[in-house]
Amino acid sequence: GQGVGRQIALHFAHNGAGGIVVNDYHADRAEAVAAEVRATGCRALAIAADVTDRLAVQEMMARATSDLGPIGVLVNNAGNMGAEPEKVGRAPFWLAPREAWDAFIDVNLYGVLNCTSAVIPGMIEARRGRLITIISDAGRTGEPGLEIYSAAKAGAAGFMRAVAKSLGRYTITANSVAIAATLTPTIADVTEDAERAKRMLSHYTIRRFGEPSDIANMVLFLASDASSWITGQTYPVNGGISFGL
């Protein structure tokens, strides 16, 4: 419903998608993006659902299929500290209560499991599909202060690799996109502090923050026929803050 997810939806709308479902925990955000998609001439459906609730996810996918047809591409984009990050206390993970850990693990790992498991049967039946999960470079390299988040994102990427091996025979691909600091509402406080932003960017080979379109370009590629022989991979789209072999 915002940031990277919004841009992915618009990229798909401008590149021949037959229909797009926009999910957000907040109904108004999902509907705002769906309205932008419809303005391009593409069909769109907004569904408010909590991706950590497996039953709600199953109901969402059933409605999506009923309204728009079989699901051919799933983008797991929900992330960070859950639907209501302002309620999550920040403390060293060894001092934080289990509930603070769960806020990261539930959305970043279980959310991916819930959404992916809900679409796989239809993709197997169609013998075709694209599963794409947005992780963080923290899941590749680790990030101090975000240990549980790093673990959850690494788990999501590992899950995608395992799914790729399980489903390749059905012509279903599964890949991850690892992103770094991107200009979304999540990092607004960073970009408003010029000195802090400068310190952050000193670690980037390309000295700018990412744009949502940077990530959407990679996702569009992985959703397209151009990537039909690529699966089980994690692609860093990160301005060169870290390199991957």
Residues designated catalytic: 149
The CA distances from residue 153 to 138, 156, 192, in Å, are: 7, 5, 27
Laid out side by side, the sheet with 234-237 consists of 73-76, 129-136, 172-179, 234-237
DSSP H stretches of helix in the chain: 3-13, 27-39, 54-68, 98-105, 111-126, 138-141, 147-167, 188-191, 194-201, 212-223
